[in-house]
Structure 1
Amino acid sequence: MNMRAVVMQRGILSVAEVPMPTAGPGEVLVKTLATGICGSDLHTVAHGEKLLASARAVAGIEIFNPNDQIVLGHEICAEIIDYGPQCKRTHAIGTRVISAPFLIRPQPVTLGFGALDTPGGYGQYMVLSEAMLIAVPDHVPSDVATLAEPLAVAIHAVNRGNIDAHAVPIVIGCGPIGLAVIAVLKMRGVGPIIAADFSPTRRATAAKLGADIVVDPRETSPYESWRSAAKTADLAAFSRQTPMFPGFAYRPSVVFECVGAPGMIQRVLAEAAPCSKVIVVGLCMEQDSFQPSYAIMKEIDLTFCIAFTITEFNEAFANIASGRLDVTALITGHVGLSAVPDAFVRLADPEKDVKIVIYPQDA
């Protein structure tokens, strides 16, 4: 039996008829209801060879075979169709579920980078590990449920920052992950939050999601905005002090670099306040460089992060389901499978879309 799917092969997307996957032991066959297009999907299509080379050099792994037909999609909401062998059948057939994008197998599988036997959410059907399933309450729309994954990435980034209660954060880059970081910071009561992006549309979305001060960096430095917002006479709220910057009368600074372009790290190190925490969330696919002396003299903590833990994924969805995180403003469009290649083009223009969700059952 076949299904329709958007497949990637050598960086080219196309709609194809492919075999339906088969649920193995402890696995569930699901009908894919909604799948978010992630920035990493855009990177994989546009810079697949660089992504593969990085993973090979750093971790000694092959994320996928570029010669295979790959079915992307790891931000998913689906409906249980059938159970494979050795399942507990905890959820009834027809239950809507989400899952962190992994299959629990002797050789674990990262969904969204698998070949046709373990497809991601760009196909009409998938297999998921029963142990990873989370039921979606009736009041949560399927498209909103897919946001658990990018919000888990944002929660992980904020957790990696280990943010001081007095901190004034700056978010550089208001793409989907930068916007999700803003939403998480607002939920946790950190602020005021300063957001910077060239795009008027994304600046407006940042304000909707909780940014208190939103700037166009061509006109206003986010770091100067930080100085205005973080100035304080409260000694208890002062940032950590160093001999090179005595009496620095400002609250702690934390900068989330969510752009991932060459030169961004050096720009942040040059302009950020002393003793800042810099959390690098943006995935730069090019070789880059920075001057360590900037970070050394300012005693800046530089932290890198990727993905999330299962606990953070569960926390993200719990906050969506409870209403503590209202992130519907992230979703700016919906498409069926045939329009996915065009959606990738739309997402290259920040004035057109932020997050597009695929409805794989639609043409």
Structure 2
Amino acid sequence: MKAVVCTETRLEFGDVPAPVPARDQVLIDVSRCGICGSDLHARVHADEMAELAAETGYRDFMRSHQRVVLGHEFSGTVAGYGPGCRKRWPVGTAVVEWHAVRKGDVGKRRNAVVIGCGPIGLAVITMLKATGVRTVVAADFSTRRRELARQCGADVVVDPAAASPWTSYPRRRETTSITDVLGLGLDTMEKLRRIPRLPWWHAFALADTVGATPSGPVVFECVGMPGVIDGILAGAPLRSRVVVVGVCMETDTFRPALAVNKEIELRFAVAYDPREFRDTLHMLADGKVDPTPLITGTVGLPGVESAFAALGDPEVHAKILIDPEISTASL
């Protein structure tokens, strides 16, 4: 069968043995496969990614000297089963950045700010709007990607070279300094103490429970370049929550004191779990999520190398799909 093999940073189009499903495995006839940002990273940084994976307990990540067929963003039809499969779908059955959005836990009362509108950022925007977030701000230097962000549902789109994403939306329930937060707390306590038989600390606890205390937006870092996290900590309002989705392959630094003084939460997200996969499928099937603005091109296997190169220009493409049944070699 035909495939594209990655080895020593090269992409080679040619023949490989047809896969045979082992025990408890399903064979899928791939109809489309997306090129992921991690594929771009793995081509160049496989050994560094393998070392990082080993530090977190996974020791089977590809190495640069190995011959590996990339591609994990696939959809297709069931073509066969290995021995031991207990539950079987009929052969021919169709199968198909929700995790990060759940990590962010934005809710209906907070704003969301997405920094970086590549494929990950665009998917985050799509999911935020699908889950009912009222105001989503998107920031990117690329004109093309700002337009795609609008198509994905962003309410406010900002060129950070011309305007700050932190001042581009209504900042309800946000404060500008820690002294303002402390002053508000003391003033509120004094007012509540005048109400008979109402313990003021119970009111504070209730406000925390319903999300009525001052808080900043939930920020999604979808760039993955050195300096971006520190820039977000410097610019984000007090009590923001930052979810790091972009994968930075270089050593980075940031100033923890910024996060401490602003009481900023910092969370990291990767991959997804079975429930999130199931939820995403249902959102697609129910029409709650439209992924078409993300897809900006399709090539056949002979065009994979040109697609990798094209994804280096943010003004042209976001997500490129591979169709194994066509021979298109250029976009």
TM-score tier (shorter):
0.7 to 0.9
Shift of 1:159: 1.0
Q: Call closer, same or farther: CA 1:197–1:161 in 2, change over 3 Å.
A: same
1:95 to 84, 93, 96: 93
Deviates more, 1:251-260 or 1:321-330: 251-260
1:269 equivalenced with 2:233 (yes/no) = yes
1:291 equivalenced with 2:265 (yes/no) = no
Give the distance between the partners of 1:211 and 1:251, measured in 2 at CA: 21
Native 8 Å contact 2:175 2:214 kept in 1:
no
Give the distance between the partners of 1:244 and 1:309, measured in 2 at CA: 40
Q: Which residue of 1 is the match for residue 37 of structure 2?
A: 39
One-letter amino acid matched to 1:90 = R
Q: Which residue of 1 is the match for residue 266 of structure 2?
A: 302
Task: State the TM-score, normalized to the length of structure 1.
Answer: 0.78
The alignment partner of 1:19 has SS state of coil
Native 8 Å contact 1:166 1:251 kept in 2:
no
Give the distance between the partners of 1:330 and 1:190, measured in 2 at CA: 20
Q: Call closer, same or farther: CA 1:243–1:80 in 2, change over 3 Å.
A: closer
One-letter amino acid matched to 1:328 = T
Q: How many residues align?
A: 298
Please list every run of 5 or more consecutive structure 2 residues that lacks an aligned counterpart in the other structure: 185-212
One-letter amino acid matched to 1:21 = P
1:245 to 171, 180, 192: 180
1:56 equivalenced with 2:54 (yes/no) = yes
Q: Which residue of 2 is the match for residue 337 of structure 1?
A: 301
Native 8 Å contact 2:176 2:237 kept in 1:
no
Shift of 1:352: 1.3
One-letter amino acid matched to 2:126 = A
2:282 to 315, 318, 323: 318
The alignment partner of 1:185 has SS state of helix
Native 8 Å contact 1:254 1:279 kept in 2:
yes
Identity rate, percent? 42
Q: Call closer, same or farther: CA 1:195–1:318 in 2, change over 3 Å.
A: same
Deviates more, 1:313-322 or 1:63-72: 63-72
User: What does the per-residue CA deviation read over 1:292-341, in whole Å, with 9 as the maximum and x for residues that have no partner?
Assistant: 11000001001111111111011111100110101211101100000000
One-letter amino acid matched to 2:162 = E
User: What does the per-residue CA deviation read over 1:150-200, in whole Å, with 9 as the maximum and x for residues that have no partner?
Assistant: xxxx11111111224210111000011101110111111112111000111
Q: How does 1:346-361 map to 2 (within 5 A)?
A: 346-361=310-325
Q: Which residue of 1 is the match for residue 165 of structure 2?
A: 222
1:156 to 99, 102, 124: 99
One-letter amino acid matched to 2:242 = V
1:170 to 113, 119, 128: 113
Q: Which residue of 1 is the match for residue 190 of structure 2?
A: none
One-letter amino acid matched to 2:104 = G
Q: Call closer, same or farther: CA 1:196–1:241 in 2, change over 3 Å.
A: closer
User: What does the per-residue CA deviation read over 1:247-266, in whole Å, with 9 as the maximum and x for residues that have no partner?
Assistant: 68976311111001000111
Please list every run of at least 4 consecutive aligned residues from structure 1 whose deviation after the TM superposition is greater than 6 angstroms. Answer: 247-250
Larger radius of gyration: 2
One-letter amino acid matched to 1:202 = R
Deviates more, 1:276-285 or 1:243-252: 243-252
Native 8 Å contact 1:245 1:274 kept in 2:
no
Please list every run of 5 or more consecutive structure 1 residues that lacks an aligned counterpart in the other structure: 99-153, 233-237
Q: Which residue of 2 is the match for residue 14 of structure 1?
A: 12
Shift of 1:66: 2.4
Shift of 1:245: 3.1
Give the distance between the partners of 1:272 and 1:242, measured in 2 at CA: 11
